[in-house]
Amino acid sequence: MGKGGSLSEGVIKNIILSYTYVAIWIFLSFTVIVYNKYILDKKMYNWPFPISLTMIHMSFCSTLAFLLIKVFNFVEPVSMSRDTYLRSVVPIGALYSLSLWLSNSAYIYLSVSFIQMLKALMPVAVYSIGVLFKKEGFKPETMVNMLSISFGVAIAAYGEARFDVWGVILQLGAVAFEATRLVMIQILLASKGITLNPITSLYYVAPCCLAFLSVPWIVVEFPVLRDTSSFHFDYLVFGTNSFCAFALNLAVFLLVGKTSALTMNVAGVVKDWLLIAFSWSVIKDTVTPINLFGYGIAFLGVAYYNHAKLRALKAKEAQKSAQQSDEESGRLLEEKEGGRKNEPDN
């Protein structure tokens, strides 16, 4: 009874911790998205400089990541040669900088709710690019699911009250670059046995992003900021915004480390619905019935996609377990037969 009771308490504790990590990640992800919208939107804080905002984030995150790794030894750095860094990390940094730049730019033109609906296309983009680079096998069933997600997003776009073509192009570009980045991580890093958690990822990738973003910043935003004499850097707003962005990466580290990446995907769906509700009720963005109907179709497609991934993961684990069991049985049989051969004849 004592053992059963302690086991039950342990399981309950793990469940509570898992839900706590999920809640923290949802809260921080929610906060960063709404905060970025607040800063960039011309009707709110009115600081429409997405490259500058992204560079502030990258500067803050790279500095804290350096302190956590090199000074406080919070996590171990990854052993990486200069050639590996240039060939693998730098291209990923370039893709990440483009993804962040475009996604932050979209907040100037589109509502928070509609952006979340467009983000439902991420599995479609990841699967399509994975097939293109031969990291995913083409399956008619999966492609039908991808088409259903795309169809749902198209309906949501048709029903959008504040549809802006340029904003949609920016967000779709951000999805495409982010999906390419995720596939490139598999090709350029995972295939070489290099795994980066969110802290080490920021340590290696954030300086690359900063370098890449400085080029368009000098051409696009620096001249405007230079001529805007009335602007004064708000340390409270940009400091807290950057801290939230870094805390979100820590939350990803905890969530994926203590649960799984699939749990984060499922939590992401919950977060998207919460953001849509918040956008409609607090920011007063218009959410139409056609919006919700289209996103509902896309939501079901994404839910099925996550279910299929979970099923495939369980099947792979079961196959691995069966293989290990067979190997163990074979080893015991060999030992038993070897013991019989070594027995003296009477």
Comparing CA positions, the residue from 252, 243, 185 lying closest to residue 21 is 252
Amino acid at 122: M
Region 85-113: what's the mean pLDDT?
93
Contact between residue 208 and residue 94 where contact means Cβ atoms under 8 Å apart: yes
Compute the average pLDDT of residues 44-57: 92
Three-state secondary structure call for residue 104: helix
Consecutive H or E run containing 5: helix 2-40
Q: Is 276 helix (H, G, I), strand (E, B) or coil?
A: helix
CA–chain centroid gap for 240, Å, is 21
At 245-272, the pLDDT tens digits run 999 888 886 776 666 666 777 788 888 8
Contact in structure between 184 and 91 (CB atoms under 8 Å)? yes
User: Higher confidence at residue 206 or residue 259?
Assistant: 206
pLDDT in tens, 217-234: 999 999 988 887 666 788
3-class DSSP assignment, residue 337: helix
Amino acid symbol at 104:
N
Range scoring the smallest mean pLDDT among 28-42, 169-183, 266-280, 285-299:
266-280
Q: Residue 1: what pLDDT? A: 46
Confidence of residue 2 (pLDDT cuts 50, 70, 90): very low
